């Protein structure tokens, strides 16, 4: 197999991100909340460590949402008919997104709570 150029690899990665943003409703929701969280972090002047935690948390949600999209696409290709294991794969991937999202809410509470309600 011929390796693709680095430029082509980055372009393909960018296309994948754009695909998720355009086609996945939940990705749009996550991005809106990520932007709101970043604006709030800027307004509340989070320190460097707090900002790092926030960025890692946001990244984990976006990455798990993208991996969920991957699982759904692969399962649909491999098993176009309804199959119990296909459902398990999709449900587990969605569960990973839910855990990342619930974690992000907890991190948001811990980072913003005291600053908002003092």
Active site residue 65: yes
Q: Are 109 and 90 in contact (CB under 8 A)?
A: no
Q: Is 19 exposed, middle or buried (0-12, 13-18, 19+ CB in 10 A)?
A: middle
Alpha-carbon span 21 to 2, nearest angstrom: 29
Catalytic residue among 24, 38, 50, 65: 65
- Residues designated catalytic: 65
């Amino acid at each position: 197999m011929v390796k693709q150029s680095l430029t082509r690899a980055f372009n393909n990665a960018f296309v994948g991100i754009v695909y998720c943003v355009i086609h996945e409703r939940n990705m749009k929701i996550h991005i809106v909340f990520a932007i709101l969280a970043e604006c709030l972090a800027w307004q509340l002047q989070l320190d460097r460590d707090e900002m790092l935690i926030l960025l890692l948390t946001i990244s984990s949600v976006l990455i798990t949402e993208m991996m969920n999209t991957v699982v759904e696409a692969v399962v649909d290709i491999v098993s176009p008919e309804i199959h119990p294991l296909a459902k398990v794969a999709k449900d587990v991937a969605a569960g990973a997104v839910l855990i990342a999202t619930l974690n992000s809410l907890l991190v948001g509470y811990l980072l913003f709570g005291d600053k908002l309600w003092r």
